[in-house]
Structure 1
Amino acid sequence: MESAGGQQIPEGRHESVEERADRRWNELLQEVRVIQTGVQILFGFLLTVVFTPRFTTLSQTDKTIYVVTVVLGAATTGALIGPVTLHRLVTGRRIKPETVLWASWMAIAGALLLLATVTSVLLLILRVAMHNSAAPWVVVALVAWFLLCWFGPPTWARYRNARQM
Structure 2
Amino acid sequence: MSDVEDFTGKTGRNETPEEQLDRNWAELLQELRVLQTGVQILAGFLLTLPFQERFETLDDFQVGLYLVNVVVASLTTALILLPVSVHRRLFRQRLKATLVSSADFITKVALGGVGMLSVGTAALVFDVTLGRTAGLTAGGVLLAILLLLLIAVPVRLNKRASGG
The question of a shared fold, defined as TM-score above 0.5 by the shorter chain, is answered with yes
CA contact (8 A) 1:80 1:107 kept: yes
Shift of 1:55: 1.2
* Contact 1:36–1:77 (CA under 8 A) maintained in structure 2: yes
Structure-2 separation of matches of 1:54 and 1:13: 56
Letter in 1 for 2:18: E
Residue 139 of structure 1: aligned partner: 139
Matched residues, percent identical? Answer: 35
Does residue 75 of structure 1 match 2:81? no
Query: Once the two structures are superposed, what CA deviation does each residue of 1:39-98 show, in whole Å capped at 9, x if it has no partner?
Result: 112112211212222111100111011111100010110111111111122111100011
Q: Does 1:61 align with 2:74?
A: no
What secondary structure, in the 3-state scheme, does the structure 2 residue paired with 1:93 have?
A: coil
Partner of 2:23: 23
CA distance in 1, matches of 2:30, 2:102: 16
Q: TM-score, normalised by structure 2?
A: 0.87
Deviation, structure 1 residue 152 = 3.0
Output the CA distance in 2 between the equivalents of 1:91 and 1:16.
Answer: 20
Unaligned runs of 5+ in 2: 1-9
CA–CA distance in 1 between the matches of 2:70 and 2:11?
Answer: 46
> d(CA) in 2 for partners of 1:114 and 1:156?
21
Paired residue type of 2:67: V
Report which of the two has the higher share of helix. 2
73-82 vs 152-161, greater mean Cα deviation: 152-161
Number of residue pairs the alignment of both structures matches: 155
TM-superposed deviation, 1:134: 3.0
Aligned position for 1:154: 154
SS in 2 for 1:134: helix
- 1:33-52 equivalences under 5 Å are 33-52=33-52
Residue range with higher mean Cα deviation, 22-31 or 81-90: 81-90
Q: Distance in 2 between matches of 1:71 and 1:154?
A: 27
5+ residue gaps in structure 1?
1-9
2:3 — aligned with what? none
Task: Kindly state the Cα deviation for residue 132 of structure 1 after the two structures are TM-superposed.
Answer: 4.6
Q: Which residue of 2 aligns with 1:4?
A: none
8 Å Cα contact 1:17/1:97 also seen in 2: no
Query: Once superposed, which parts of structure 1, at least 4 consecutive aligned residues long, lie more than 6 Å away?
Result: none
Which residue is 1:32 aligned to? Answer: 32
Q: Report what 1:3 is aligned to.
A: none
